[in-house]
Amino acid sequence: FEDGAYCMTVEAGDDDGILIGRKGETLDALQHVAYKMSGRGRDDASTVRIDISGYRERREEELAEEALQMARDVAETQRPRQTEPLRAADRRIVHRAVAEVEGVTTKAIGTGLVKRIVIALEGSAELSEEAPVRESASTPEGVFDFVSETEPPRPVAAGKEATTSEWGRKPRPARPGRRR
């Protein structure tokens, strides 16, 4: 018990990936279950922190380094960038890291628990409430990607609307199948 929270570290060895899951999702779920169990039958639940093989510390360092690099790129190119959707704890890491770079600021965009962060020059139109949110393509290499320019609208068949998926891409039209 330290800093008002129960802290548990698990050394899983070669099997740590199973307990951590994709981007820490399984680890977050384990931590949530432990939190719920700690508060069962009590009015005040205790905070529970679980780390597996130092994953959380490594993740924080990687996010902070990527955010700093992205902020430096924004200052150099004067083009805003945004992250892929991040949970609240990861957004805090990005906000703190970017605060170290002068002339660059951040803003969370989106709704719900998982939001993106726009990193732009201070006073940029990208950070105003009226500015349209431009989607970025996600990359398997990392969390961050350049903000893409808005695509021109594609022609739409009569009676059909072009909708975008949760990643900001328009779905491909279905190919007509062969009839036998």
Judged against a pLDDT cut of 50, whether residue 133 lies above it is answered with: no
Percentage of residues of the chain with pLDDT beyond 70: 68
pLDDT, residue 129, reads 52
Which pTM was predicted? 0.63
Task: Judge contact between 85 and 114, C-beta under 8 A.
Answer: yes
For residue 80, the model assigns a pLDDT of 92
Q: For the segment 23-60, what is each residue's pLDDT rounded down to a tens digit?
A: 888 999 999 998 888 878 777 767 889 999 999 999 99
Contact in structure between 8 and 34 (CB atoms under 8 Å): yes
Angstrom distance (rounded) from CA 80 to CA 100: 17
**Identity of residue 49:** R
CA distances (Å), 153 to each of 82, 157, 163, 164, 170, in order?
Answer: 22, 12, 11, 12, 10
Higher pLDDT, 162 or 14: 14
Res. 12 pLDDT band, cuts 50 70 90? confident
